[in-house]
Structure 1
């Protein structure tokens, strides 16, 4: 059925309204709408948001299909309310050529659960020695505008400057994984009291902060755009705030897990809490929440990093870094930002849809819920509260730090250009 009437939804958390979808477009928004040809979805006061957009997802395909595929990853995205994701370049082979990014792009088109926009590597093989085919990737069918060596830092200042200069020509952005490698050799967790007590190699905040400071100055010098991936420290917040006050074109993201979890959890030695950058202190968590609320941090990005069971079910030192996050992100944001009063639902839409779509230039996404706009929508039962059970995940991997934890909110429906990808919490 090409027409859908969503009845009684709180659009961006406001007063209940009806939303009529006709084909791929929102036809009407208002009270008391009716259409005898439409399939009626009773929202019953659930919150209707624009489809979520994730600027930082690892889909693993090609090369690590044991962790995730474009199909399973986009199914997980739809389950979490996402209608578009940006796929990181650290695949095998690395997405550093037009051919690889086009492969990922076309896989996303074929599967249809959400739009997939590939992110191109900054350097060949993520090795930091030679610029990748930035122009060719941008001009390819994938139309790449975001470039990142995520998983590795572009630590060479000259290489970073050249990348910023190159992408400036077509309005692209370099998304930096801020980690000075010489300061993090052998690092296993946040450097601090807990690392000292546990005897684990410390990961100092300055390893992140020093790269961010350098890169915002480079962006200012070049006049280009830089985006900071998974910002995790209070000091990083202050550097970004300073840079924005100078008019530097910098944006930043925070992950859901850095908004909720702290390094105290590492005392369990459970590798599910091993992540890059590491979980930080309570002081950092509170600073990140405040920065997301006041706009210093622009967006929430999942850094969805799936791993097979054997890569996590081992001793801490040998375990892979990363957590899955697409299916729990909105719940964590509700818990940390909405329940605490730091953001309302319009603010959530801004940080999880409008702004990430703008940064990544995701056409048709991050649009207002109004007549004439693409029907990319997410319906959320905000009154729900339940325990996280990874057995029900659509992702191929289960490495979630929230297993057994009670979180609020549940995505019940997701529509991609008017086509339902999730209905009553079940994938179509």
Structure 2
């Protein structure tokens, strides 16, 4: 009995260990699957391809292409087929009002049938079909441009959030270092207090400083979680996935010399391209309106099979077939005065869009120049802050040595610590700002 019990317990322990091991492996795999290590350019490309808003804009572009094909199909001949059968009742003839009547069968037969095919082909309509095709083509161009703009906007937003993650990660590392310094400093100050070399006030100040650093760490961790979820939404990945940036704020900065001294860079702007297409669309619309002032000429043909034969008199009880070829000319005289207000409105809108085009071009060019100046400023800040970090680090060591040798106040030491922390953060901020400007320029010039 004891042997059986031991074997049973061993089996239970083995199964439990296997299940526990399987659970740990599953959790590890889930953890690995939930982590996404990615560069900023990879994140931008992924978001442009998978974001729902960008996908919606692409669907709209596909619908615009289907509309364009519908307009093109209007140039094809119109074909109609018709067929019918009628069964007539007897014919009632009245001679004296409705009181005296006679009934006779319908001649030559009580049955009637017809089947035929007709075709109409537009030969001339004042350029209406060509203008309609141009309008549809421009609408398709606008839809494509909107899809590119939406994808570029999503890419720019993704780059911004990714850079926020970089900045917050750097900030987290700085705070972690500051937390170690604060803990070590508090430990040393407590030792000095025990030896009655500093007052209780210094201990309290050091404790407050440590608490503030811990709160800062909590805040930056929460901000990281929020930004991570925002990036997940932009990239359209699972909500709980953890995006781990593989780039750093200190990576080489791009060369932006191409963005200065070239006025044609603004031509790639989505806003400017949209303004151009709006002008072209309104010009095509004006041509469509003017085409209503011209006559239309169409070629007509058909072939019919009918029963009975009413072409002769008296009608004959027989099938007959006949075809025809002809032309139809139409002219709407009312268009001479009805289309005039529409033409005037279209011309005014063209002028309106041309003014808008000039305003957009000026704004884009001005922003490109401003961003280039700010980029140069960011690079200068990076150089200055690199030097400031070294100076602030040396300053902190000097003040720390003085304080623990009773030659400086704790306030001086805490200020030196904050200055060192601030210069490190300013460097990261300047580096991240340089990349923000770069991606803003990429989007602004239609390259993102």
Shorter-normalised TM range: under 0.3
When you count helix as a share of all residues, which structure comes out higher? 2
TM-score normalised over the length of structure 2: 0.19
- TM-score, normalized by length of structure 1? 0.20
Identify the structure with the greater strand proportion.
1
